[in-house]
Amino acid sequence: MTAPAREVRYQPILLKYQGRTEPVGLDEYGGYTAWRKAQDMTPGQVVEEVKNSNLKGRGGAAFPTGMKWGFVPKVEGPKYLTVNADESEPGTFKDREIMETCPHMLIEGSLIACYAFGSKTAFIYIRGEYEVAADRLEAAIAEARQAGLLGDYQVLVFRGAGAYICGEETALLESLEGRRPMPRSRPPFPAVEGLYRRPTVINNVETLANVPHIINNGAEWFKGVDPKIFCLSGHVNRPGNYERPLGSLTIRQLIDECGGGVLDGRQVKAVLPAGASAPMLTADKLDTKLDYDSIREAGSMLGSASFIVLSDAVCMVRAAARMVEFFRNESCGKCTPCREGTMWLYSILTRLEQGQGSETDLDLLLSLSDEISGKVLCALGDFSVSPVVSTVNQFRDEYLAHVREGRCPFGSWALG
Amino acid sequence: MADAPVHLIIDGRQVEVPRGTLVIEAAKQAGIEVPIFCYHPKLKPVGACRMCLVDIQKMPRLQTACTTPVAEGMIVHTRNDRARAAQKGVIELLLVNHPLDCPICDKGGECPLQDNTFKFGLGNSRFGEPKRKLAKALPLSDRVVLDRERCIMCYRCVRFQDEIAGDQALAAIDRAGMTQIGVLEGETFDSPFSGNTIDLCPVGALLSRQYRFRARPWDLERMPSVCVGCAVGCNVELHAREQALQRMIPRENMAVNNEWLCDFGRFETLPLGIERVRQPLVHGAPVSWQEALQAAADLVSSAGWKPARGQDGHATSIEIVASPSLTNEALNALRRLAADLQAPLGVWPARTGRVRGSIDDLVASRTIILLDFDVWTELPVLALRIREALARGGQLFFAGSGANGLRRDTAASYASADVLAHALGSPAGPISILGRGADELAQRVEATGMVGEPATAANGYAMADLPEARFAPATLLLAGNENWPDLTGKKLVSLRWSPHPSPLPGGEGIVLPLTHPYEQSGSVTNLEGRVQQLRAGGGIAGEARPDWQALADLARALGLSPVEEERQAALA
């Protein structure tokens, strides 16, 4: 069975320069035509255009970008754009490729965003491990400034120190201010009181990379394309970033056509659509279309669109344990349920995986997940129970096999 | 014009509160207890512990009552099934890594974690994994010890040092389940306010090294009194076990100390582990009160009775010296004695002074000027009250070259009051000015707040009219527990509660044992002129007598009438 072939091969927009080993320079990029065009519009018109494009935040929450800009109060004094380039969700590596191949696209998008809501300063908060991307951004900013494109705007690169929590926008702001990254209580929302207690917009890299194309080609054009980068990893033959219009293909097509099928010719057991953070989808959901609504209806979230494919060689108990271990390590330590709960969940899961668990542990896992989910300040705690709840519910038999056999039926540490 | 009040319903009760009130405070007003750990009314809310989760209608998620402001028509359930389940869950999770070593924990009996567990917890535990182990009793300083296993990460201590003390002495270290309270590399927990973190800690994680293992809370007798460490007059509670003082904690008084106490007051003014004078001494030999009083009367009579007179009519052969920490009652007795003997009365050390305006006025100031006055060292809790004024938008200026412990909070420093006055022009009012020369500057800038050079000793306000003692005559009556200067060759009657640190050269004189200020009643007047009452919080050492009583006895031995005695006895 084959999927209907697309008539014209899709030309990537965000990853136009995919595969380059050197970043695209200012001349080849095209000299910030959208930035020039935007400055001939009123800020209100720019916001309207982006609103009309229906661009949704690509960091995971899919909040309408134009609306976010529109929330910024029209007050005197400084306002800030903060670019979330902390890209730390497991299996997510799309922003990195944008920044490494075409840093100017992000810088141009950032300038347009600044103009739209009245900021003169953009901070690009980039994860510390992205040294190449950070260097290339800094070089590109210097190049743009040299060319007189920045005017009185400032674009600054700030390197993080490697904490997952810094992807959470208020923790990111704390870190940017020089403090320990712990999420803030909302309200006040960052749009009103964010960085240095000033109105602040926080946008993802991929979100902003779309903005120059919207300004250049118009909202109507964008609605017809709606480009999205899908990060494909795990048990596939060709992992990598694949840019396609939202809703133009299914999970199965992403795995087979883009990823060259499952590794070692095995079957898919589950797919994680948003790194470790969203509930996993079982093999019967592979024909789900890749757009926000379809994935939600299938019982998960598109999130950052980081597809991690797990083949049938994977022990789901071990997989759940490994993912919870990640959250246990990355919890900032502020909220009780996340800090203590992830430790406890991990203890139970490792015990189960080693064949030392009991059936009542499964109820305990679900009950504990309920004590964490929805009781915490930020999404990390909510995310941390996703792998637990979805594996206990969808792969209960595997858990019970561990209990029954007193060992891991897959052989311990099957995932790595 | 004030905003219209907000109406809401909490657990079926109608509540009316000002706009901006937090749900937790509205619940408190309605008499509903929502369990808390990280929330503290004096600290900014953080929503960390999640203990106060409540169910608010129309909100899909449970909300922390400590971070949610009220809204008109809000309907809050603090005890419905959803809220109770969440509260039980948080208690369960707080306890999974808590050692539950209550029987050997100082906090046991006054521990919010115990109380909330009883009131809001599950009653049992489903946790069967090994607990997190960390070395116990980690000293953070000479005064405070940390048990990281007991810590529940409410960050109250970190927030206190950051927001109230302003020295950021504590920090959270590491992350996730290994997050710990500690001091950053190269730093020390030497804050002069560190003891407050012990009071704020809702578990037995931060403990006083002085008080550790000395008592159980239910064995303590508690007596409200006043700290005599300085002239602020912080309100305190004295805790004694079997008549022996064990510790001192602050009491809230918004007009004086808010609810803070400095480490000097808390740890150094308590008579713990200090040698005491338990018996009257004459030339080093223990004698009865009667003998000692007779000897003292003889000495004073020979010097002061029918004495040689100076030009001012005062005796030149005797001087009465008051410590500025004596009670008002003792001071009155001394004034009477001095009048009767026509002997000069002086104060030493002269840590006296008077200001106009109150601490309230200081906290309400928009501009505060320190004229070479190190309030951080001299009157520590007053420095915290100044920080309150700054948090409300006030500005602090400093003139002079001396120490300024509030340097971090100072908007600008100037070489002298003149330069400052010139630079500031007409600063925003109300204005408070503390230090030498305050009155002159106050006239120039029309200061209406607290103005003057404040007393720094406990009762220095009441003695502001006394001259500094000269120690010139051959016979001296020394009242109070001061480290007197070199008094070689003098004849001494000394009233004190601990032996003089260095043997007084004339110290083979007469010593009358006094009670410690925390073992007697009496009153002291704080730097703003507020008269506050001392109460006996612990038993009396040996044959010691309160300062005012000992002076009355001495007057009687001299054949004078101790007019104040009856009133003072009634006061006791």
DSSP B338-378: HHHHT--EEESS-----EES-HHHHHT-SEEEEES--HHHH
Q: Which residues pair with A83 in a beta bridge?
A: A124, A203
pLDDT single digits (tens) A252-272: 999 999 999 999 999 999 999
Instruction: Yes or no: say if B69 and B42 are a contact pair by the CB < 8 Å rule.
Output: no
SS3 for B29?
Answer: helix
In this structure, what are the phi and psi dihedrals at residue B549, rounded to the nearest 5 degrees?
-75, -45
Amino acid occupying residue B78: T
For residues A118 and A198, membership in a common domain is answered with yes
- Cβ pair B89:A337 closer than 8 A: yes
- The length of chain A is 416
- Cβ pair A330:B176 closer than 8 A: yes
Model confidence at B561, pLDDT cuts 50, 70, 90, reads confident
Instruction: Yes or no: say if A190 and A123 are a contact pair by the CB < 8 Å rule.
Output: no
For residues A85 and A212, membership in a common domain is answered with yes
A71 touches chain B (CB under 8 A): no
What pLDDT shows up at residue B313? 60
Q: Give yes or no for a cis peptide into B505 (omega within 30° of 0).
A: no
Residue A18 forms part of a structural domain? no
SS3 for B19?
Answer: coil
Residue A17 forms part of a structural domain? no
**What distance in Å separates the CA atoms of residue B329 and residue A20, rounded to the nearest whole number?**
89
Amino acid occupying residue B407: R
Determine the residue of chain A that is closest to B176 in CA distance: A333
- Cβ pair A375:B50 closer than 8 A: yes
pLDDT single digits (tens) A68-113: 999 999 999 999 999 999 999 999 999 999 999 999 999 999 999 9
Mean pLDDT of chain B: 93
Amino acid occupying residue A140: A
Q: Give yes or no for a cis peptide into B430 (omega within 30° of 0).
A: yes
B531 touches chain A (CB under 8 A): no
SS3 for A332?
Answer: coil
User: Mean pLDDT lowest for which of A10-24, B15-29, B42-56, B295-309?
Assistant: B295-309
Domain extent at residue A271: 228-311
Residue A133 forms part of a structural domain? yes
Q: Which residues pair with B512 in a beta bridge?
A: B495
Tell me how close the Cα of A185 comes to any Cα of chain B, in angstroms.
Answer: 7
Which residues on chain A are in Cβ contact (under 8 Å) with B176?
328-333, 339, 342-343
- Substitution target in A170, A180, A335, A385 with the highest count of B β-carbons within 10 Å is A335
Cβ burial of A19 (10 Å; 0-12, 13-18, 19+) is exposed
- Substitution target in A334, A358, A366 with the highest count of B β-carbons within 10 Å is A334
For residues A186 and A209, membership in a common domain is answered with yes
Which residues on chain A are in Cβ contact (under 8 Å) with B64?
185, 377
Matching residue, tokens 């910030």? A32
Model confidence at A1, pLDDT cuts 50, 70, 90, reads very low
A68 touches chain B (CB under 8 A): no
What is the token pair recorded at A135?
Answer: 């260097």
The mean pLDDT value for A400-415 works out to: 82
Assign 3-state DSSP to chain A and report helix, strand, coil percentages, each to 5.
45, 15, 40
Q: Which residues pair with B180 in a beta bridge?
A: B173
Determine the residue of chain B that is closest to A360 in CA distance: B126
**What distance in Å separates the CA atoms of residue A127 and residue B485, rounded to the nearest whole number?**
64
Instruction: Yes or no: say if A121 and A80 are a contact pair by the CB < 8 Å rule.
Output: yes
Model confidence at A411, pLDDT cuts 50, 70, 90, reads confident
Q: Give yes or no for a cis peptide into A12 (omega within 30° of 0).
A: no
The mean pLDDT value for B101-118 works out to: 96
**What distance in Å separates the CA atoms of residue B371 and residue B94, rounded to the nearest whole number?**
49
B112 touches chain A (CB under 8 A): no
The mean pLDDT value for A44-62 works out to: 96
For residues A273 and A361, membership in a common domain is answered with no
**What distance in Å separates the CA atoms of residue B410 and residue B406, rounded to the nearest whole number?**
6
pLDDT single digits (tens) B404-429: 999 999 999 999 999 999 999 889 88
B94 touches chain A (CB under 8 A): yes
Task: Report whether pLDDT(A404) > 70.
Answer: yes
For residues A208 and A291, membership in a common domain is answered with no
Amino acid occupying residue A253: Q
Instruction: Yes or no: say if B459 and B326 are a contact pair by the CB < 8 Å rule.
Output: yes
Instruction: Yes or no: say if B438 and B451 are a contact pair by the CB < 8 Å rule.
Output: yes
What pLDDT shows up at residue B505? 61
Residue A410 forms part of a structural domain? no
- Cβ pair A336:B50 closer than 8 A: yes
Task: Report whether pLDDT(B502) > 90.
Answer: no
**How many residue pairs from chains A and B have C-beta atoms closer than 8 A?**
98
Model confidence at B186, pLDDT cuts 50, 70, 90, reads confident
**What distance in Å separates the CA atoms of residue A270 and residue A323, rounded to the nearest whole number?**
14
SS3 for A296?
Answer: helix
Domains of chain B are 6-96 (3.10.20.740), 281-351+465-571 (3.40.50.740), 355-452 (3.40.228.10)
CATH code of residue A386: 1.20.1440.230
What pLDDT shows up at residue A415? 44
Q: Which of A311, A336, A364 delimits the end of a domain?
A: A311
The mean pLDDT value for B332-340 works out to: 91
For residues A123 and A197, membership in a common domain is answered with yes
B129 touches chain A (CB under 8 A): yes
What pLDDT shows up at residue A416? 41
Q: Which of A264, A281, A311 delimits the end of a domain?
A: A311
Q: How far is CA B118 from CA A165, B24, B88, B114, in A?
A: 34, 20, 10, 6
Residue A14 forms part of a structural domain? no
Measured between CB atoms, which of B53, B126, B177 is closest to A340?
Answer: B177
What pLDDT shows up at residue B564? 57
- Cβ pair A336:B153 closer than 8 A: yes
**What distance in Å separates the CA atoms of residue B50 and residue B37, rounded to the nearest whole number?**
8
Helices (H) and strands (E) in chain A, counts: 18, 9
For residues A103 and A243, membership in a common domain is answered with no
Which residues have C-beta within 8 Å of that of residue B95, sequence separation ≥ 6? B113, B117, B121, B125, B127
For residues A302 and A326, membership in a common domain is answered with no
Instruction: Yes or no: say if A190 and A173 are a contact pair by the CB < 8 Å rule.
Output: yes
**Predicted structure pTM score:** 0.93
pLDDT single digits (tens) A5-16: 555 689 999 999
Q: Give yes or no for a cis peptide into B499 (omega within 30° of 0).
A: no
What pLDDT shows up at residue B569? 57
Which one is predicted more confidently, B304 or A206?
A206
For residues A242 and A294, membership in a common domain is answered with yes
For residues A93 and A185, membership in a common domain is answered with yes
Instruction: Yes or no: say if A351 and A357 are a contact pair by the CB < 8 Å rule.
Output: yes
Task: Report whether pLDDT(B286) > 70.
Answer: yes
Residue A236 forms part of a structural domain? yes
Model confidence at B311, pLDDT cuts 50, 70, 90, reads low
- Substitution target in A336, A363, A372 with the highest count of B β-carbons within 10 Å is A336
pLDDT single digits (tens) A139-156: 999 999 999 999 999 999
B62 touches chain A (CB under 8 A): yes
Task: Report whether pLDDT(A169) > 90.
Answer: yes
Residue A3 forms part of a structural domain? no
Q: Which of A265, A294, A311 delimits the end of a domain?
A: A311
Model confidence at B541, pLDDT cuts 50, 70, 90, reads confident
Instruction: Yes or no: say if A394 and A317 are a contact pair by the CB < 8 Å rule.
Output: no
Give the total number of structural domains in chain A: 3
What pLDDT shows up at residue B317? 86
CATH code of residue A60: 3.40.50.11540
Q: Between residues 152 and 191 of chain B, which touch chain A (CB distance below 8 Å)?
A: 152-153, 155, 171-172, 174-179
Q: Which of B188, B91, B111, B79 is nearest to B144 (CA)?
A: B188
pLDDT single digits (tens) A38-51: 999 999 999 999 99
Q: Can you list the positions of beta strands (E) in A197-320? A: 200-204, 227-234, 240-245, 268-276, 281-282, 306-311
Cβ burial of B385 (10 Å; 0-12, 13-18, 19+) is buried
Work out the angle at residue B100's Cα, subtended by the Cα atoms of residues B92 and B246, and round it to the nearest 5 degrees: 130
For residues A167 and A250, membership in a common domain is answered with no
What pLDDT shows up at residue A182? 95
Model confidence at B1, pLDDT cuts 50, 70, 90, reads very low
Q: What is the DSSP string of A187-211?
A: SSPTTTS-GGGS-EEEEEHHHHHHH
Residue A13 forms part of a structural domain? no
Q: How far is CA B363 from CA B21, B395, B431, B456, in A?
A: 22, 11, 10, 18
Task: Report whether pLDDT(A414) > 50.
Answer: no
Which residues on chain B are in Cβ contact (under 8 Å) with A180?
171-172
Q: Which of B78, B554, B6, B484 is nearest to B280 (CA)?
A: B554
- Cβ pair A340:B48 closer than 8 A: no
Instruction: Yes or no: say if A34 and A53 are a contact pair by the CB < 8 Å rule.
Output: no
In this structure, what are the phi and psi dihedrals at residue A157, rounded to the nearest 5 degrees?
-100, 125
What pLDDT shows up at residue B306? 52
In this structure, what DSSP letter does residue B12 have?
A: T
For residues A210 and A246, membership in a common domain is answered with no
Mean pLDDT of chain A: 95
Percent of chain A having pLDDT more than 90? 94
Instruction: Yes or no: say if A373 and A357 are a contact pair by the CB < 8 Å rule.
Output: no
